[in-house]
Amino acid sequence: MAEVNARLLVRRLLAGVLALLGATLIAFALGVIAPGDPAVQALRQGPFDEPDPLAVLELRHRWGLDRPLPLQYLHWLGRLSRGDLGVSYSTRERVITELGRRLPATLLLAVTATALAAVLGVAGGLVCARWAGGPLDALLRTLSGIVASLPVFLTGMLLIVVFAEQLRALPTSGYGSLAQLVLPALALGLGEAARLLRLTRTQLVDELARDYVRTARAKGLARGRVALRHALPNVLLNVTTAVGLHFGAILGGAAVVETVFAWPGIGRLSVESVFRRDYPVVQGLVVLSAALYIAVNLIVDLLYSVVDPRLRVGGA
């Protein structure tokens, strides 16, 4: 990684910092415009409980809620820089602790779904390009179009009906075993795999029409070998970009899938927190999701130098 273009890396880092600051503004605004007083919400013991007004005033002063909004934002940002996201209204637990407990489950699900999407999508695109115009190509493209058009929750329900209700091969919920991971990962990854298949096929078909491919074929190399060894590396840059974007889409769809499959990740936590009006948790989720997405895009940028040597220092 020493060969990575340093200027590109610095630009990406600065852009990531600015994007993260924008996310903190959005998260802070959610807490400001949300109905209700945060101090009252934090002190309330039950849905109909009215906290002591003096205790509310004291907590508002301690949290800086009686200050002007710009100062409140800077105070909140300072707490955020120390890893202090506040306390959950509903569980009375530190938000950073709750997010840290839920994050591994979501990362496991998202990484598995992304890996499935990458493998199935690239392999399917390669097969379609190899037999472009044939019946297998038409079948795979038709199936991918159908799968890509299905909402994530419907894909999840169909998987439950087939593999859990009819075949009784996999569990419908839970966390901790490989069998419990399969269905939610497929529900998240199949749609992205279908879109990646179509992208890979289009890129490869265009690449296989180039002069160097015809030259390789004229030398006696098999079409499949040419597609795999020569054409595929030339489209991996675009495919890598797409995989990074698909990871963001998978994170976005995690809330639905985790709810359907009772998966204990941050996606399900976000749904629960919105219904409970647990605004500190919602704010923390916004910042965490933005940080994850920015980190993934930075990793994709770093992978460019591995996929395409021309992007390395001195390689241009």
CATH number, position 185 = 1.10.3720.10
141 has a pLDDT exceeding 90: yes
Mean per-residue pLDDT, 159-174:
90
- Same domain, yes or no: 140 and 35: no
Residue with the larger pLDDT of the pair 32 and 79: 79
Q: State residue 306's pLDDT score.
A: 63
- Same domain, yes or no: 127 and 243: yes
Question: Structural domain of residue 29, as residue ranges?
Answer: 6-81
pLDDT in tens, 221-239: 776 677 777 777 778 777 8
Residue with the larger pLDDT of the pair 240 and 164: 164
Asked, for residue 95, whether it belongs to a domain, the answer is no
Mean per-residue pLDDT, 37-65:
75
- Same domain, yes or no: 252 and 143: yes
Average pLDDT, the chain: 83
- DSSP, residue by residue, the chain: -TTB-HHHHHHHHHHHHHHHHHHHHHHHHHHHHSSS-HHHHHH-SSTT----HHHHHHHHHHHTTTS-HHHHHHHHHHHHHTT---B-TTT-SBHHHHHHHHHHHHHHHHHHHHHHHHHHHHHHHHHHHHTTTSHHHHHHHHHHHHHHHS-HHHHHHHHIIIIIIIS--S-SS-SSSHHHHHHHHHHHHHHHHHHHHHHHHHHHHHHHTSHHHHHHHHTT--HHHHIIIIIHHHHHHHHHHHHHHHHHHHHHHHHHHHHHTT--SHHHHHHHHHHHT-HHHHHHHHHHHHHHHHHHHHHHHHHHHHH-GGGBTTT-
Asked, for residue 257, whether it belongs to a domain, the answer is yes
> The tokens of 16 are what?
């990531």
Asked, for residue 47, whether it belongs to a domain, the answer is yes
Number of domains in the chain: 2
Asked, for residue 92, whether it belongs to a domain, the answer is no
Mean per-residue pLDDT, 138-147:
93
- Same domain, yes or no: 187 and 256: yes
- Same domain, yes or no: 28 and 152: no
pLDDT in tens, 181-236: 999 999 999 999 999 999 999 888 888 778 777 777 777 777 667 777 777 777 87
Q: Give the pLDDT band (50/70/90) at residue 163.
A: very high
- Same domain, yes or no: 167 and 265: yes
Q: State residue 85's pLDDT score.
A: 86
Asked, for residue 316, whether it belongs to a domain, the answer is no
- Same domain, yes or no: 71 and 209: no
Asked, for residue 243, whether it belongs to a domain, the answer is yes
- Same domain, yes or no: 20 and 144: no
Asked, for residue 96, whether it belongs to a domain, the answer is no
2 has a pLDDT exceeding 50: no
